[in-house]
Amino acid sequence: MFLLLFRRERGTMLFRRLLSKPVPFPSSFRCPNFSSSTESRALRIGDLFRQSRKFSDVEVLEYSKLSHDFNPLHFDSEIARDAGFEDRLVHGMLVASLFPRIIASRFPGAVYVSQSLQFKSPVYFGDEVVAEVQAVSLRQKQERYIVKFSTKCFKSENLLVLDGEAMATLPTLAMDDREQRPS
């Protein structure tokens, strides 16, 4: 956990960050390797990246703790059914968190600038979700690249559950291809 200490000095705020104890990472966490790859290729318009995921009870509970979103639709099947859903819902923003993960895993140092979202259909516990990020435009600005991505999530093969666009600034268009190549 980080402890932030603030001290005012001549009208400015000085920040010092002290690491009070190590941050534990889940055993499934894989620290990215930021070294350059000799097999990298440049991002092009139309490149599509996918990742599939099922969200567990534990992940939804942990997300609720972090976000302080304890809406009973996420925890109580009866309340969710009374509201017109089949069962408990996975937080939409938890599902949307797949988008920056896909971008950052391919482009270390990427800065996620914006995201628009439309929630089209609910995601339930146990649903397999496939997130897609596709480059739709790019331009260079000084030493970085500004890229617009189409962002979509599907379940049950082709049912659209999330639709939107993201903007990210990338330090380079060279992709880290250690994960899967674009579709």
What's the pTM?
0.75
In the chain, % of residues over pLDDT 90:
71
104's CB contacts (< 8 A; 6+ apart) are 32, 110, 112
Nearest-angstrom CA–CA distance, 98 and 151 = 10
Q: Name which residue leads in pLDDT, 154 or 8.
A: 154
Question: Which of the residue ranges 34-48, 58-72, 95-109 would you say has the lowest mean pLDDT?
Answer: 34-48
| pLDDT mean over 125-140 | 97
Q: What is the pLDDT of residues 93-102, one digit of tens each?
A: 999 999 999 9
pLDDT above 80 (res 132): yes
**What CA–CA distance (Å, rounded) separates 182 from 102?**
11
